[in-house]
Amino acid sequence: GENVEQHPSTLSVQEGDSAVIKCTYSDSASNYFPWYKQELGKRPQLIIDIRSNVGEKKDQRIAVTLNKTAKHFSLHITETQPEDSAVYFCAARGGSNYKLTFGKGTLLTVNP
């Protein structure tokens, strides 16, 4: 089955800096890659997603890049703010079974 590795597990940045979180996946048939933000005690919230026919997608300060050959995808957050502090999860969905496999999460702390 699919295996998703996520790094780093914790990331601390200063307000205004950029943050990058990286994920790799094992199933070359995976075709959908969402990113979720989960604040303490809250639900995971979809912040951006990308499909396998696209290499990059941006939404204001957030961007995701996908390298299908290398089977990795990354989340980029620019001009970080304290309210960006949360756990971020990447996920990959297989082509045949529609199952979403999550990475283990990255705790991002943005220091004011």
Partner 1 sequence: DTAVSQTPKYLVTQMGNDKSIKCEQNLGHDTMYWYKQDSKKFLKIMFSYNNKELIINETVPNRFSPKSPDKAHLNLHINSLELGDSAVYFCASSASLAGAQFFGPGTRLTVL
Contact 37, 59 (CB under 8 A): no
Write down the residue that tokens 């933000």 correspond to.
37
Q: Binding marks (x or -) toward partner 1, 44..63, rule CB under 8 A? A: xxx--x--------------
Residue 62 identity: I
In the complex with partner 1, which residue's Cβ is closer, 10 or 18? 10
Residues 60 to 99 in contact with partner 1, rule: CB under 8 A = 87, 89, 93, 97-99
Residue 85 identity: S
Least Cβ distance, residue 79 to partner 1 (angstroms) = 25
HEC readout, 56-79: EEEECCEEEEEECCCCEEEEEECC
Q: Which residues bind partner 1 (CB under 8 A)?
A: 32, 34, 36, 38, 42-46, 49, 87, 89, 93, 97-102, 104-105
